[in-house]
Structure 1
């Protein structure tokens, strides 16, 4: 996923500082490339496509290509079947990944993921840095993921926004109205009330983060907003590609909405974020660099911990609609007001 690929890119910056002459390559899903494009710490990209995802023969061919490159070290961040297979068939002497009982035999070094963060970086960062301990020891510096936009991309986005009558003297908010999937998407009617509150408190201009194929769902949220709020929403101002979305977001005061790749992208560009977590997602893992001011998030467990009891996140995921229903806008408004006032 986009957030995973962006967050894992910090490993390259750490390695480059220690080994400036090393060849550092990144094997990623094709659609995630935009978030690591122009990263100065990565030499080459190897793409995992739909073909490898659906064909064991294609996966085997990719694994053979990786083996031919004769890597000294392979770091498997994701540790899924496909990456297990690629690592197993490689000729690397040092193979590093997270510990799983059924795949640990493949690797020379594994680590057990922590479940409580030690720093403001959060578990997504801290656990990834554990992957470097066999190479760099346990004193790896905390690094924040970064997006590398070109000046041309940023200038083009500003020109586009100017053409679309954006007033840069007024607040501009990007709203992540949709999650990456239904069970990570705050209910439409609830999201509309959140947007109403943003407009009421700030009088700001509102952009929606969606792609053309999601227009139907974004339109539903638009229509659920009050008529006054709708006057502040520039519905047809959106990025037609991931790079365009990033360049537009670079000009926003903040990104507000569902937890996911868009939030991680905004943080990587030093844009303020207010994040609404899905009830079944671990906040401790993905509330990276949250300081309560520039970056603030809220989880149902923060306001209604009694709903969780001894249930696991997997159990909650199965009943996510009921938990989302309990996560009313009224439970979020106080935190949102605090964020907006900052």
Structure 2
């Protein structure tokens, strides 16, 4: 069997969908299993032993109609027996539509279900205590008789990458015998970022309970100004434990550095999914407009903690809609004093 999975765009989505390859490999060990992704997301699935070939949806293909038509033609010539469209947007719809695949599997949508031989309706509640992101992806494998099992995405670092990161941290005066925490200090946007003053109080709380802890920040160079604002809001004793200039210059470097951390703490996003895939514990703050069940399952609670405003007060679907329009007013209700007891309980696991 020759099979293609399509998952474009976000890094967290590409990483999460990669677990489908392990499930497929167990059921069909001699199959050709290929992955179509945006080129910038490749670092999180590099070296995955269950993926045979990567096909990159590049900016040129995305922005040039002639390049896209050529891309469609080349894919059609590969003659996949099965296409699984996890992405479900126009570009992946067209790729699926113009393929010669006998099985075309994707999520049910009124405007595009005719494309698929097997349109699958998403779950709205998990059945196996996993996240909906995992359970709904496993649903896409049901037409291929792949039994449900909770698979966890994994990131595969080389020994060289791990050793280079270790040496870099030591060179930056990081003591790997002391607790080391990576902080997702900002979300993918300010609308997905815990208020700066509140984040500073959480950082102060970390150092209060773990005075010898060392703190790294996960951020892009263009975010440095906002990161420094949060740093300045911290107590001096906290600032002394923050290594603000120690960060990965590439995504693979970030992954290798995070591998040496005890936990990742902070705003929900791709970094949290990456930490989980590295078997690093996480403490995640979800944006008020998100459904926590989409990306966090109760089955994870032994190693991971996630907080959402709904854990502390009534927060209806209407509130979630309003929170997307005005996130700050809802974030401000999620005061640090509510989160800190759970954070303290999480931190006691690390010496």
Give me the TM-score of the superposition, normalised by structure 1: 0.96
2:149 and 2:200 map into 1 onto residues whose CA distance is 40
Two-structure CA RMSD over aligned residues (Å): 1.4
* Contact 2:181-2:214 at 8 Å conserved across structures: yes
Which of 207, 212, 224 is equivalent to 2:221?
A: 212
In the TM superposition, 1:174-253 aligns within 5 A as 174-203=182-211, 204-253=213-262
Displacement of 1:221: 1.2
2:24 and 2:96 map into 1 onto residues whose CA distance is 19
Which of 10, 14, 21 is equivalent to 1:5?
A: 14
1:325 and 1:293 map into 2 onto residues whose CA distance is 28
- Classify 1:300/1:27 alpha carbon distance in 2 versus 1 (closer, same or farther; 3 Å): same
- In structure 2, what is the equivalent of residue 319 of structure 1? 326
- In structure 2, what is the equivalent of residue 114 of structure 1? 123
Displacement of 1:99: 0.5
- In structure 2, what is the equivalent of residue 278 of structure 1? 287
* Contact 1:211-1:239 at 8 Å conserved across structures: no
- In structure 2, what is the equivalent of residue 302 of structure 1? 311
* Contact 2:282-2:305 at 8 Å conserved across structures: yes
SS of the residue 2:245 aligns to = coil
Displacement of 1:53: 2.9
List runs of 5+ in structure 2 lacking aligned partners. 1-9
Aligned residues: 339
* Contact 2:181-2:264 at 8 Å conserved across structures: yes
Is residue 189 of structure 2 the alignment partner of residue 170 of structure 1? no
Displacement of 1:293: 4.1
* Contact 2:21-2:51 at 8 Å conserved across structures: yes
Give me the TM-score of the superposition, normalised by structure 2: 0.93
1:312 and 1:129 map into 2 onto residues whose CA distance is 30
Displacement of 1:79: 0.3
2:170 and 2:328 map into 1 onto residues whose CA distance is 40
Displacement of 1:155: 0.6
1:79 and 1:37 map into 2 onto residues whose CA distance is 23
* Contact 2:130-2:300 at 8 Å conserved across structures: no
Is residue 293 of structure 2 the alignment partner of residue 287 of structure 1? no
* Contact 1:274-1:296 at 8 Å conserved across structures: yes
Displacement of 1:82: 1.0
SS of the residue 2:128 aligns to = coil
* Contact 2:275-2:281 at 8 Å conserved across structures: yes
Moved segments of 4+, more than 6 Å: none
- In structure 2, what is the equivalent of residue 101 of structure 1? 110
